[in-house]
Structure 1
Amino acid sequence: MAKTEFNINDVLENYKRRDEERREFIIHKGRTAMKEIIKEVNQRGSLNEADIYYGTPKPQLSFSDIELGYMLTSMMEYATNHVGNPVDEECELENKLAYFEYKDEIIQIFEVYGQGTDSWFLKPSDDTVYKLSNTAYGVYLNQFDDFINYTINKENESKKVSYGTTILNDIAGGYTVGRGSK
């Protein structure tokens, strides 16, 4: 049997590189990407990574499926951590929703869990837009510019703190455990 070496430094460097790529894309190209996402969703009704490969017609995007994935994942994480997520009661699978507003356009993210996780952007129904704009359901509406600013702040934070500490905080859920702590 062959011996496989596991180098934690390689894993940490790979994590750091992907996290930096994700933040750089969101910070520098996020607004442009959101404009393109909204345009495609308004034309198609929805947009996910598979549409880039298999969509008919193909989406006209200036970014890759990986970068679309960065947007989906990061925006859903932001919504989950800042306002929580409603669910679609009519969906048979476990799911959660997120809503973002950008330049008077509202976009919805739908995430479904089954044998895996799939998520996509879609245009919310008129009823949902009404509820987000005129009822307490509006608590779930995130401002896209707030998401960008949050990402910028996280980037600045990560430059101040050593990356190993940041990863440990991510793993420990933000708790710092020191020697002799209770």
Structure 2
Amino acid sequence: MMKTKFNVVSALEDYKRRDEERREFITNKGYAAMEEIIKEVNQRGSLNEADIYYGTPKPQLSFSDVELGYMLTSMMEYATNHVGNPVDEECEFENKLAYFEYKGEIIQILEVYGQGTDSWFSKTSDDTINQLNNTAYGVYLIQFDDFINYTKNKDNESNKLSSSSTISNDITGGYTVERGSK
């Protein structure tokens, strides 16, 4: 039987590195990326990571599929944690929606669960825009600026925590996170 070793410290370092890359992309290039996303969605109707590889015509983006994934995932997490998510009743799969407004444009994210999870940006219907602007449904509409500011604030909190935190192996063999000065 083959034994596999799992390096907890390496896995935590990889997670931290990917999280830093995600936050750095969003805080430094998020506004420009959102403008490009809105432009592509208005032309195509929707946009996800697969469109970068297989889309016809190919989307004209200055960032990668991974960075588009950062935007999709982070924006959906923000919506879920801050306003909740309505669902698309007409979709046959379990799903959730998020709506973001930037420079007067409203864009939606649809996340669908089936044999896996897929998510994409899409154009918001005129009826939905009317509901978001004129009814209690508007509670689901998020200002993109709020998302960027939240990400910047989380980045600042993370820097404070990481400079004074250590991960150590305790006597029982488990890992603990400790705060203190270096």
TM-score by length of 1: 0.89
State the Cα distance separating 1:6 from its structure 2 match.
1.3
In 2 relative to 1, CA 8–30 (structure 1 residues): closer, same or farther, beyond 3 Å? same
The C-alpha deviation readout for 1:67-120, integer Å capped at 9, x for no partner, is: 000000000000000000000111110000000000000000000000000000
Aligned match of 1:98:
98
Contact 1:94 1:114 (8 Å CA) reproduced: yes
SS in structure 2 opposite 1:60? coil
1:60 and 1:165 map into 2 onto residues whose CA distance is 41
Letter of the structure 2 residue corresponding to residue 114 of structure 1: G
1:80 and 1:62 map into 2 onto residues whose CA distance is 27
Aligned match of 2:54:
54
In 2 relative to 1, CA 9–80 (structure 1 residues): closer, same or farther, beyond 3 Å? same
Letter of the structure 1 residue corresponding to residue 31 of structure 2: R
* Alignment RMSD: 1.7
Between the two proteins, what is the percent identity of the paired residues? 82
Aligned match of 2:83:
83
More strand by share: 2
Q: Say whether residues 1:140 and 2:152 are aligned partners.
A: no
Contact 1:158 1:166 (8 Å CA) reproduced: no
Matched ranges for 1:1-182 at <5 A: 1-162=1-162
State the Cα distance separating 1:164 from its structure 2 match.
9.8
2:37 and 2:118 map into 1 onto residues whose CA distance is 17
| Aligned residue-pair number | 167
Structure having the higher Rg:
2
The C-alpha deviation readout for 1:124-144, integer Å capped at 9, x for no partner, is: 100000000111100000000
SS in structure 2 opposite 1:86? coil
Letter of the structure 2 residue corresponding to residue 145 of structure 1: D
Letter of the structure 1 residue corresponding to residue 114 of structure 2: G
Letter of the structure 2 residue corresponding to residue 79 of structure 1: A
Letter of the structure 2 residue corresponding to residue 75 of structure 1: M
The C-alpha deviation readout for 1:23-59, integer Å capped at 9, x for no partner, is: 0000000000000000000000000000000000000
Letter of the structure 2 residue corresponding to residue 67 of structure 1: E
1:138 and 1:166 map into 2 onto residues whose CA distance is 43
Uncovered stretches (5+) of structure 1, i.e. residues with no partner: 168-182
SS in structure 2 opposite 1:110? strand
Contact 1:99 1:106 (8 Å CA) reproduced: yes
1:136 and 1:44 map into 2 onto residues whose CA distance is 29
